[in-house]
Structure 1
Amino acid sequence: MDTIIARKTNKNKYLLIALPIILLFGYFVFTSATKKRSLTIKRAEITIKTVENDFFEDFMSFQAKAVPLNSMLVNIIEGGAVQEIFVENGDRVIKGQPLARLYNPNAELAYMQQETAIIEQINNLNKAKLDLRNQELNLAKDLIAIEHDYLDAKNLYDLNKKLFEQEILAKNEWEKTKENYRFQKERMNIIKQSVKKEKLANQIQIGQLNQSIAIMNKSLDILRANKQHFLITAPISGRLSSFEPILGKTYSQNTSIGFIDDMKGYKLIADVDEFYLDKIAEKQKGTVSFDNKTIEVQITKVIPEIKSGRFQVELDFVSSEKLDLKQGLSFGVKLNLSEKTKTKVLSKGSFYEETNGKWIFVVNGNKAERRAIKLGRENPLYYEVLGGLKADEKVITSSYKDYKQIELLDIQE
């Protein structure tokens, strides 16, 4: 009996050949997909720091400048050209001391005209007051004459009454005497009332005139005082600063040409980034270095108005020790925001700009591997490490600008 022999097809043959190729290709695809992206760098191009267990102090630092506790502007009250300068910037001056003299012929002429007009008004008011006094005097003279006529009429009345009763005086003469007496009596009473009212009215007018004259005299005093403003004097005693008038230059009214510092102490003023607005409050303490000594300062005022991303704070020196400071002297202020605490800390570096503190390259020998981390508070020197790193581990803290998509770094010497 014949044996049936199965024929091998080309299909099975091709399958046997393709299978190893497919498996090999799949292996390469898998390894490529799972292989970490790496980059070779030189050690000299990076900065390596060690994670440390240390005291973390939440503080901030900023620059502040010294300014006097109290200053007063030197203002030009009446504009004019600088004619004379008597002192120099930085000089110590006393209150009332001449600093400079201005010249303004138009203003001086206007003052003279105003002064003349005021004096003329005062003279007119005084003349009106004198007229009222003369009027009172004339009324008094008239009253005396009227009282004299009344007394004559009364005496004649008394005499003629007796004569008429004795039937010596005729009746028509007696009637004339009675009528004259009545007339003089009523006349005197009316004049007395008129004089009384006139005196009262005159007193009111004279009081008003006196009040007007007093106002005019006060205006005249002010005007004469204003004429003296062409001579600029020191409003307080102290030291001149920013005082730089120029001979011949014309300055307008209410222009400031300098300051006078009262030399009774200094304070610090600083512009601080708005990021710290919620972290800074009055009575917080800090330190500055001056003359190789650490001096304590305290925040006395926080001005929360934001200008160009910054706000202003004022600080005073806590110590009563007198410091030989000068206006504009710059200080580096270290302001404490919390107490010191023991924790893991990491030196600050440029890596944070690309990672936002979410990952970092951890160095192990000649390799550096990307690792997720968690950072907490920060100060100008350190970050607080909350997770992902152990003490004594080394990390790269320089810029990651070229490593954003890299997971493994090969470090070459």
Structure 2
Amino acid sequence: MDKVLPRKNRKKVKAIVIVIGIFLLTFITYKTFFQDVVLNVSKKEVRIRVVEEGYFEDYISFQGQVEPLHSMLVNIVEGGAIQELFVENGAIVETGEPLARLYNPSTEYSFMSQENALIEQMNNLNVSKMNIRNQEINLTKDLLSVQHDYKEAELMYELNKKLYDQEVLSKSDWERTKETFRYQKERKSLIEQSISKEKQTSEVQLAQIEQSLYVMQKSLVKLRENKENFLLVAPISGRLSSFDVILGKTYTAGESIGKIDVMKGYKLVAQVDEFYLERIQVGQKGQIDMKGELVAVEVKKIIPEVKSGRFEVQLDFMIDRTLKLQEGTSFGVKLFLSGKDKTLLLPKGNFYQETKGEWVYVVKGDKAERRKVELARENPAYYEVISGLEVGEEVIISSYRDYLRVEYLNIKE
């Protein structure tokens, strides 16, 4: 016959079962995630480096390409088809030297029509100007005639007045003399006023005509200059590059068909990862290795526009003598972002991809132990160590991909 357990004993049994269950769950979880607590690795499979004390140089490395210090684009001014080529790509050209000739029948016909229209308008204005000048001459003649008649009437008036006062001239003759003099005087006054107004009007008309002729003359000069734009010439002296035009091909106005590189000085142009956009500044110094010689360079210009994850940096050569450079040559640039700081240094390695610098394997003899660390700045060669490591300690810096869940490593020869 079964014996009934007391209530207190049943509670105790239940508690024991729960504890055992938790223990088993913990054990299974631990075995699942940390089943390889210790792993044997070959020393040949890992890279081991020593933590050292030294000066941390905050720098980045990238490739820079040699380009001329100054260049100018060769642009099409008047669109058309290439009719004639005078030079080839790579030629040394002088300012104003013809490069190519274009042809555009419709544009040339338009230029001709505009030129003829302007010349006709200018001729009409010149005729109008001549008519006004002739009118002024006629008015001057009229004025001289009136003044002459007035002068004769005045002389006759003075003479007859004396004769009348001496009672030699009759009263009727004197009255006619006075009337003639009055008439010529009023006639002279009216005509002088009329001629004065006519001259003022003529001066305004002539000024307007001269202004119109000036504008038309400028337009005519510009039009003829535009006709000359079918002849493409070098804007500056230098080496012609990227000049790959094709005979018969049509190019539009404003289209760039090449450039001219000024053969006086060079610069380095680099495409740098956008990660460094906020860290690179104008004036920062760097260096390149040119056949074993370190040549100083300096950031001269930054173009912050990001394309495909990169932005452009232009650097000048900081050297007095002329360098023998070839356009298109690439150099590795070492650009310093700050000064040197004395600190602990850990050589760079692939381990960082898995740990993000939060922990490393520290080697002691033939074993390696997982340890938390704090890393800060980095350059192409080293990480800056903030805490977790000491000078002289050895660290595995190769990839941890195969033993991310392992606490200890046995390093075998």
User: Which residue is equivalent to 1:320?
Assistant: 320
**Greater CA drift, 146-155 or 180-189:** 146-155
Give the superposition deviation at 1:397: 1.5
User: Which residue is equivalent to 2:372?
Assistant: 372
Query: Which residue identity does 1:361 align to in structure 2?
Result: Y
Q: Matched residues in 2 for 1:148 and 1:210: separation?
A: 34
- Per-residue CA deviation, residues 249-299 of structure 1 (Å, 9 max, x unaligned), is 000011111111121211222232333334332322110122432100112
Give the superposition deviation at 1:42: 3.9
Give the superposition deviation at 1:308: 4.3
User: Which residue is equivalent to 1:126?
Assistant: 126
Q: Matched residues in 1 for 2:390 and 2:169: separation?
A: 147
Question: Is 1:103 the equivalent of 2:100?
Answer: no
Give the superposition deviation at 1:392: 3.5
Runs of 4+ aligned residues of structure 1 deviating over 6 Å after TM superposition are 28-32
User: Which residue is equivalent to 2:408?
Assistant: 408
User: Which residue is equivalent to 1:289?
Assistant: 289
User: Which residue is equivalent to 2:86?
Assistant: 86
Query: Which residue identity does 1:102 align to in structure 2?
Result: L
Give the superposition deviation at 1:358: 1.1
Question: Is 1:215 the equivalent of 2:215?
Answer: yes
Q: Matched residues in 2 for 1:124 and 1:290: separation?
A: 72
Query: Which residue identity does 1:284 align to in structure 2?
Result: Q
Q: Matched residues in 2 for 1:101 and 1:357: separation?
A: 64
User: Which residue is equivalent to 2:206?
Assistant: 206
Give the superposition deviation at 1:307: 4.4
- Per-residue CA deviation, residues 203-260 of structure 1 (Å, 9 max, x unaligned), is 3322332222122111111111111110100011111111111111000011111111
Write the mapping of 1:223-302 to structure 2, written as runs, cut at 5 A: 223-302=223-302
Q: Matched residues in 2 for 1:368 and 1:92: separation?
A: 66
Q: Which runs of 5+ in 1 are unaligned?
A: 1-10, 12-21
Q: Matched residues in 2 for 1:242 and 1:31: separation?
A: 71
Give the superposition deviation at 1:137: 0.5
Give the superposition deviation at 1:305: 4.5
**Greater CA drift, 162-171 or 111-120:** 162-171
**Greater CA drift, 166-175 or 331-340:** 166-175
User: Which residue is equivalent to 2:161?
Assistant: 161
Are the structure 2 counterparts of residues 154 and 55 from structure 1 closer, same or farther at C-alpha, using a change threshold of 3 Å?
A: closer
- Per-residue CA deviation, residues 391-411 of structure 1 (Å, 9 max, x unaligned), is 333322222223222212334
User: Which residue is equivalent to 1:390?
Assistant: 390
Q: Matched residues in 2 for 1:259 and 1:292: separation?
A: 33
Query: Which residue identity does 1:269 align to in structure 2?
Result: V
Query: How many residues get paired?
Result: 391
Q: For 1:133, what is the secondary structure of its paired residue?
A: helix
Are the structure 2 counterparts of residues 147 and 348 from structure 1 closer, same or farther at C-alpha, using a change threshold of 3 Å?
A: same
Q: Matched residues in 1 for 2:340 and 2:164: separation?
A: 127
Percent identical across equivalent pairs?
55
Q: Matched residues in 2 for 1:31 and 1:196: separation?
A: 122
Q: Matched residues in 2 for 1:273 and 1:159: separation?
A: 110
Q: For 2:114, what is the secondary structure of its paired residue?
A: helix
- Per-residue CA deviation, residues 113-162 of structure 1 (Å, 9 max, x unaligned), is 11111111111111111111000011011112212222332333334434
Write the mapping of 1:48-67 to structure 2, written as runs, cut at 5 A: 48-67=48-67
Write the mapping of 1:16-55 to structure 2, written as runs, cut at 5 A: 37-55=37-55
Q: For 1:179, what is the secondary structure of its paired residue?
A: helix
**Greater CA drift, 62-71 or 275-284:** 275-284
Give the superposition deviation at 1:365: 4.2
User: Which residue is equivalent to 1:4?
Assistant: none
Q: For 1:279, what is the secondary structure of its paired residue?
A: coil
User: Which residue is equivalent to 1:310?
Assistant: 310
Query: Which residue identity does 1:294 align to in structure 2?
Result: L
Structure-2-length-normalised TM-score: 0.86
**Greater CA drift, 294-303 or 110-119:** 294-303
